[in-house]
Amino acid sequence: MIKRTLFFENKAALTTKNEQLLIKTETRTSSVPIEDIGFLVIEHPETYISIPLLTKLSDKNVAVIFCDEKHMPVSMLLNLSTHFLQQELFRQQINASEPLKKQLWQQLIKAKITNQAHLLAIQEIKGHPLAHYASKVLSGDTDNREGAAAAYYWKNIFNFKFSRARNGEYPNLFLNYGYIVLRAAVARALSGSGLLPTLGIHHHNRYNAFCLADDIMEPFRPLVDAQVLEIMANYEDQELTTPIKAELLKVLTKTVYFENYESPLMVALSYTASSLQQCFASKQKKINYPRLWN
């Protein structure tokens, strides 16, 4: 089931009654079943949200995303007890061997570079080396094929000189916003599968609460890049306006493709997270990543 994404850019009071999210603004009152919600984005600094509502949202594994004064997502509320085997799953994740983590990272990077190559092909950029780089990724990506692929990819993905940087020029702000939304969606899926988003496979930062989400989202990044390319083709704005944010949030409902079925990204992330859980439990060897394009 595709869950709804609710975006609050204006002042509102959010409470709950009878398993509903009650929304009260200066002009109207409405409600939404909590079970239908996947993501709640709070942008306005004067939004009121009740503790009982936060508790219910957490119980339903709704990712509540809070924005800063620049209207960029800055923090997130997630449920860390959504699986009945929580302690056992945490133990398996914590005890994962280094060889396993290196093999999983190899899979991640191969999938990421393959998806970057596919997007370049869609953009009719020919003769690129990314497919070759993907075929040569070693366990743990010890010779940094990811970096080599990224250098070529960012130099060629746009039809102008571009440097990918967190605080760089247009369209970096669009990319940043899209990646933060994707990160939240991945963290929600990991939490729902009983995994600890903090404990990464490759990313390790004592100040990062979502290292595993940063790992698992890597192959999905080109989907955000493709959405940014589409936005650039249809909007003249170079600022992160509300319509552009709405377009970036549509990434969550993009269709992706597994071997025998297709799925919205929001749902597919749960399949991918579940397969990672099975890898940690030694029940399978590969993370189940979908194709981003058919």
Contacts of residue 239, Cβ cutoff 8 Å, sequence gap at least 6: 173
Two tokens, residue 211: 């290292």
pLDDT at 10 over 80: yes
pLDDT at 83 over 70: no
Q: How does strand 63-67 pair with strand 73-77? A: antiparallel
Q: How confident is the model at residue 66 (pLDDT cuts 50, 70, 90)?
A: very high
* pLDDT tens profile 36-49: 999 999 999 999 99
Using an 8 Å Cβ cutoff, are 286 and 275 in contact?
yes
Q: How confident is the model at residue 87 (pLDDT cuts 50, 70, 90)?
A: confident
Contacts of residue 161, Cβ cutoff 8 Å, sequence gap at least 6: none
Which residues are paired to 6 by β-bridges?
Answer: 40
Look at residue 5 and give its three-state secondary structure.
strand
Q: What is the pLDDT of residue 219?
A: 98
Q: How confident is the model at residue 80 (pLDDT cuts 50, 70, 90)?
A: low
Average pLDDT over residues 45-70: 92
Domain limits, CATH 1.20.120.920, in the chain: 86-280
Amino acid identity at 249? L
Percent of the chain with pLDDT over 70: 97
Question: Measuring CA to CA, which residue among 104, 34, 60, 55 is closest to residue 289?
Answer: 104
Two tokens, residue 156: 């060629």
The Cα-based distances of 285 to 10, 99, 100, 248, 280 in angstroms read 46, 12, 9, 33, 9
Average pLDDT over residues 147-164: 94
* pLDDT tens profile 180-238: 999 999 999 998 888 888 889 998 766 577 899 999 999 999 999 999 999 999 999 99
Terminal Cα-to-Cα distance of the chain (whole angstroms): 21
Neighbours of 230 (CB within 10 A): 12
The Cα-based distances of 60 to 34, 84, 105, 217 in angstroms read 7, 14, 30, 22
Tell me which of 196 and 289 has the higher pLDDT. 289
Least confident of 76-80, 151-155, 164-168, 265-269: 76-80
Kindly give the interhelix angle for 98-122 and 221-234, rounded to the nearest 10 degrees.
Answer: 20
Q: Is the dihedral of CA 12, 13, 16, 17 positive or negative?
A: negative
Using an 8 Å Cβ cutoff, are 109 and 102 in contact?
no
Reported as type and span, the H/E element at residue 185 is helix 172-192
In words, the CATH class of domain 86-280 is mainly alpha
Task: Give the Cα separation of 233 and 158 in Å (integer).
Answer: 11
Average pLDDT over residues 157-183: 93
Evaluate whether the domain defined by 4-77 bears CATH number 3.100.10.20: yes
Percent of the chain with pLDDT over 90: 79
Q: What is the pLDDT of residue 81?
A: 63
Average pLDDT over residues 79-99: 80
Domain limits, CATH 3.100.10.20, in the chain: 4-77
Reported as type and span, the H/E element at residue 131 is helix 130-135
pLDDT at 239 over 70: yes
pLDDT at 280 over 80: yes
Look at residue 142 and give its three-state secondary structure.
coil
Average pLDDT of the chain is 92
Q: What is the pLDDT of residue 130?
A: 97
Q: What is the pLDDT of residue 84?
A: 55
Q: What is the pLDDT of residue 203?
A: 82
Q: What is the pLDDT of residue 70?
A: 84
Task: Give the Cα separation of 65 and 40 in Å (integer).
Answer: 6
Look at residue 64 and give its three-state secondary structure.
strand
Q: Which pTM does this prediction carry? A: 0.90
* pLDDT tens profile 131-146: 999 999 999 999 999 9
Q: What is the pLDDT of residue 250?
A: 94
pLDDT at 78 over 90: no
Task: Give the Cα separation of 292 and 220 in Å (integer).
Answer: 8
